[in-house]
Amino acid sequence: MARQKKQDDQTEIFGLHADVIEQQITETLETNYMPYAMSVIVSRAIPEIDGFKPSQRKLLYTMYTMGLLNGGRTKSANIVGQTMKLNPHGDAAIYETMVRLAKGHQALLHPFVDSKGNFGKTYSRDMAYAASRYTEAKLAPICQELFRDINDMVEFIPNYDNTMQEPTLLPTGFPNLLVAANTGIAVGMASSICGFNLAEVCETTIEYLKNPEHDLLSTLKAPDFPTGAELLYNRQELEEIYNTGRGSFKLRAKWRFDKKNHLIEIFEIPYTTTIEAIIDKVSELVKAGKLREISDMRDESDLKGLKLTIDLKRGTDPEKLMQKLFRMTPLQDSFSCNFNILIAGYPRVMGVREILEEWSAWRIECVRRQVFAEVERKKDKLHKLKGLKKILLDIDRAIEIIRNTEEEAEVVPNLMIGFGIDEIQAEYVAEIKLRNINKEYILRRVAETADLEAEIEDLEDLLGSKARIRRRIIKTLEEISKKHGIPRQTEIVYDFTTETEEEEDDTPDYPVKIFFTRESYFKKITPQSLRMSSDQKCKEGDEVVQEFETTNKAELLVFTNRQQVYKTRLSEFGDTKASALGDYLPAKLGMDEGEVAVYVCLPGDYSGNLLFVFENGKVAKVAASGYQTKANRKRLTGAYSEKSPLIAMFHVTEEEPFVIYSTENRALVFHSSTLAPKTSRSTQGVAVMTLKPKYKVRHACRLEGSSIQQVARYQTRSLPAAGAKLHDCDALEQQITLG
CB 614 within 8 A of CB 608: no
Least confident range of 5-19, 542-556, 565-579: 5-19
- Name which residue leads in pLDDT, 502 or 716: 716
Of the candidates 233, 207, 206, 205, which has an alpha carbon nearest to the alpha carbon of residue 221? 233
Angle at 502 between CA 500 and CA 503, to 5 degrees: 120
Question: What integer is the mean pLDDT of 498-511?
Answer: 59
CA dihedral 107, 99, 277, 493 (to 10 degrees): 0
Least confident range of 14-23, 127-136, 311-320: 14-23
| Number of compact structural domains in the chain | 4
CB 108 within 8 A of CB 198: no
With residue 275 as reference, give the H or E element that holds it.
helix 275-287
Question: What integer is the mean pLDDT of 271-298?
Answer: 90
What share of the chain in percent tops pLDDT 70? 92
pLDDT in tens, 396-408: 788 888 888 888 8
Polymer length in residues for the chain: 739
Structural domain harbouring 570: 511-730
Find all residues with CB under 8 Å of 75, minimum gap 6, and list them: 132, 133, 135, 136
Q: Residue 659 forms beta bridges with which residues?
A: 669, 701
Strand ranges, E, within 21-72? none
Give yes or no: residues 454 and 516 share one domain.
no
Instruction: Note whether residue 375 is domain-resident.
Output: yes
Going edge to edge, which strands form the sheet with 332-338? 182-185, 190-193, 332-338, 246-252, 230-232, 491-493
- Please state, in angstroms and rounded to a whole number, the distance separating the CA atoms of residues 214 and 217: 9
Burial letters for 495-527: b for 16+ Cβ neighbours within 10 Å, e otherwise?
A: eeeeeeeeeeeeeeeeebbbbbbbbbbbbbbbe
Give yes or no: residues 655 and 542 share one domain.
yes
pLDDT band at 188 (very low <50, low <70, confident <90, very high): low
Least confident range of 5-14, 598-607, 629-638, 663-672: 5-14
DSSP conformation class of 263: E
Q: Give the per-residue SS3 of 458-481.
A: HHHHHHCCHHHHHHHHHHHHHHHH
Of the candidates 706, 688, 705, which has an alpha carbon nearest to the alpha carbon of residue 697? 688
User: To the nearest whole number, what is the mean pLDDT of the chain?
Assistant: 87
| 515 has pLDDT over 60 | yes
Give yes or no: residues 477 and 529 share one domain.
no
Sign of CA dihedral 356, 357, 359, 364: positive
How big, in percent rounded to 5, are the helix, strand and coil portions of the chain? 40, 20, 40
| Type of residue at 80 | V
Sign of CA dihedral 461, 467, 470, 471: negative
pTM as predicted: 0.67
| Cα–Cα distances in angstroms (integers) from residue 248 to residues 219, 232, 384, 683, in the given order | 20, 11, 60, 35
Of the candidates 301, 308, 302, which has an alpha carbon nearest to the alpha carbon of residue 329? 308
Q: Residue 324 forms beta bridges with which residues?
A: none
Of the candidates 256, 255, 252, 254, which has an alpha carbon nearest to the alpha carbon of residue 272? 252
pLDDT band at 249 (very low <50, low <70, confident <90, very high): very high
Question: What integer is the mean pLDDT of 411-428?
Answer: 85
Q: Which of 36, 134, 160, 510 is catalytic?
A: 134
Q: The domain that contains 600 carries what CATH number?
A: 2.120.10.90
pLDDT of residue 39: 65
Instruction: Note whether residue 352 is domain-resident.
Output: no
- Please state, in angstroms and rounded to a whole number, the distance separating the CA atoms of residues 97 and 80: 10
- Please state, in angstroms and rounded to a whole number, the distance separating the CA atoms of residues 36 and 20: 24
Q: Judging by beta carbons within 10 Å of its beta carbon (0-12, 13-18, 19+), is residue 91 exposed, middle or buried?
A: middle
DSSP string, 205-225: HHHHHH-TT--HHHHS-S---
DSSP string, 368-418: HHHHHHHHHHHHHHHHHHHHHHHTGGGHHHHHHHHHH-SSGGGHHHHHHHH
Give yes or no: residues 324 and 407 share one domain.
no
Q: The domain that contains 317 carries what CATH number?
A: 3.30.1360.40
CB 129 within 8 A of CB 103: no
Give yes or no: residues 462 and 523 share one domain.
no
pLDDT band at 129 (very low <50, low <70, confident <90, very high): very high
| 374 has pLDDT over 70 | yes
pLDDT in tens, 67-80: 999 889 999 999 99
| 525 has pLDDT over 50 | yes
With residue 661 as reference, give the H or E element that holds it.
strand 657-662
Angle at 270 between CA 267 and CA 272, to 5 degrees: 140
- Please state, in angstroms and rounded to a whole number, the distance separating the CA atoms of residues 738 and 601: 12
- Please state, in angstroms and rounded to a whole number, the distance separating the CA atoms of residues 55 and 47: 10
> Domain ends where: 483, 503, 528?
483
Question: What integer is the mean pLDDT of 207-223?
Answer: 94
Instruction: Note whether residue 341 is domain-resident.
Output: no
Give yes or no: residues 276 and 157 share one domain.
no
Instruction: Note whether residue 80 is domain-resident.
Output: yes
pLDDT in tens, 563-591: 999 988 888 888 888 888 888 998 888 88
- Please state, in angstroms and rounded to a whole number, the distance separating the CA atoms of residues 61 and 150: 10
Least confident range of 1-10, 163-172, 487-496, 509-518: 1-10
pLDDT in tens, 614-649: 999 999 999 988 888 765 567 888 889 999 999 999
Instruction: Note whether residue 226 is domain-resident.
Output: no
Give yes or no: residues 319 and 377 share one domain.
no
Question: What integer is the mean pLDDT of 124-153?
Answer: 93
Give yes or no: residues 386 and 289 share one domain.
no
Instruction: Note whether residue 189 is domain-resident.
Output: no
pLDDT in tens, 687-725: 999 999 899 999 999 888 888 888 888 888 888 998 888
Q: Judging by beta carbons within 10 Å of its beta carbon (0-12, 13-18, 19+), is residue 133 exposed, middle or buried?
A: exposed
pLDDT of residue 41: 62
Q: Residue 305 forms beta bridges with which residues?
A: 302
pLDDT in tens, 307-349: 999 999 888 899 999 999 999 999 999 999 999 999 988 889 9
Instruction: Note whether residue 407 is domain-resident.
Output: yes
Give yes or no: residues 609 and 542 share one domain.
yes
pLDDT of residue 81: 94
- Please state, in angstroms and rounded to a whole number, the distance separating the CA atoms of residues 279 and 299: 8
CB 473 within 8 A of CB 367: yes
Question: What integer is the mean pLDDT of 511-520?
Answer: 90
Going edge to edge, which strands form the sheet with 686-687? 646-652, 609-614, 618-623, 686-687
Give yes or no: residues 326 and 437 share one domain.
no
- Please state, in angstroms and rounded to a whole number, the distance separating the CA atoms of residues 573 and 556: 11
Active site residue 129: no
| Cα–Cα distances in angstroms (integers) from residue 627 to residues 565, 590, 620, in the given order | 9, 19, 15
Give yes or no: residues 371 and 453 share one domain.
yes
| 116 has pLDDT over 90 | yes
DSSP conformation class of 180: S
Rg of the chain on CA atoms, in Å: 39
Q: The domain that contains 379 carries what CATH number?
A: 1.10.268.10
pLDDT band at 734 (very low <50, low <70, confident <90, very high): very low
Of the candidates 705, 703, 709, which has an alpha carbon nearest to the alpha carbon of residue 727? 709
| 13 has pLDDT over 70 | no
The alpha carbon of 268 is separated from its chain's Cα centroid by a whole number of angstroms, namely 21
Instruction: Note whether residue 8 is domain-resident.
Output: no
CB 48 within 8 A of CB 341: yes
Give yes or no: residues 614 and 717 share one domain.
yes
> Domain ends where: 144, 172, 200?
172
Find all residues with CB under 8 Å of 305, minimum gap 6, and list them: 267
> Domain ends where: 433, 464, 483?
483
Q: Residue 650 forms beta bridges with which residues?
A: 611
Q: Judging by beta carbons within 10 Å of its beta carbon (0-12, 13-18, 19+), is residue 426 exposed, middle or buried?
A: buried
Q: Judging by beta carbons within 10 Å of its beta carbon (0-12, 13-18, 19+), is residue 617 exposed, middle or buried?
A: buried
Whether the ω angle into residue 527 lies within 30 degrees of 0, i.e. cis, is no
pLDDT band at 501 (very low <50, low <70, confident <90, very high): very low
Find all residues with CB under 8 Å of 486, minimum gap 6, and list them: 109, 110, 197, 198, 199
Question: What integer is the mean pLDDT of 29-34?
Answer: 72
| 739 has pLDDT over 70 | no
Q: Of 184-198, 456-470, 490-504, which one has max mean pLDDT? A: 456-470
Question: What integer is the mean pLDDT of 218-235?
Answer: 94
Find all residues with CB under 8 Å of 46, minimum gap 6, and list them: 53, 184, 186, 189, 191, 340, 341, 342, 347
CB 570 within 8 A of CB 528: no
